[in-house]
Amino acid sequence: MQIQNERSGASLVIRVSGRLDSVSTPTFEAHCQQAIAQGERSLILDFRSLDYLSSAGLRSILIVAKSVGAAGGEFALANARGMVREVFEISGFLGIFRCLDSFETPAAQD
């Protein structure tokens, strides 16, 4: 798993690549919680390069969403595809979170 931060206006875009599984999830969760602790109030998780997601990943996404919500912030999922999108669908996440289907950061549009 690799994690990269980008900015899009007031939002912090966290781009997660590779596998979000039981092994990599603690690193992902700590990264997001640190961003919230540093004052970020709008998180967009960009999953365009994420190939694999398990329930451990879902669990940490839910924890991060609750944390940012409790801090008065906003949260969105972007660009989930393939098996990752299917896992979101099966678990009902597409219905409970804001989902951006063709989200681009300003840098990515250049």
Partner 1 sequence: MERLRLPAKLSSLTGFREFVNRSAVAAGVGPQLLPRIELALEELLVNHVLHAYGSGEGDSEVVCFRREPDCFCLEVVDEARPFDPLAQATPDLTLAAADRPIGGLGIHLVRSLADEVSYRREAGKNVFTACFAIRPEAPPG
Cβ–Cβ < 8 Å for 57, 91? no
Contacts (CB under 8 A) with partner 1, residues 18-77: 21-23, 51-52, 54-56, 58-59, 62-63, 65-66, 69, 75
31 vs 59, beta carbon nearer partner 1: 59
Contacts of 20 (CB under 8 A, 6+ apart): 1, 28, 50, 52, 53, 54, 56, 57, 60
Q: Which of 105, 108, 47, 38 is nearest to 73 (CA)?
A: 38
Would you give the binding string for partner 1 spanning residues 80-109, x where CB under 8 A is met?
--xx--xx--xxx--xxx------------
Number of residues that bind partner 1 (CB under 8 A): 26
Q: Residues interacting with partner 1, by CB under 8 A?
A: 21-23, 51-52, 54-56, 58-59, 62-63, 65-66, 69, 75, 82-83, 86-87, 90-92, 95-97
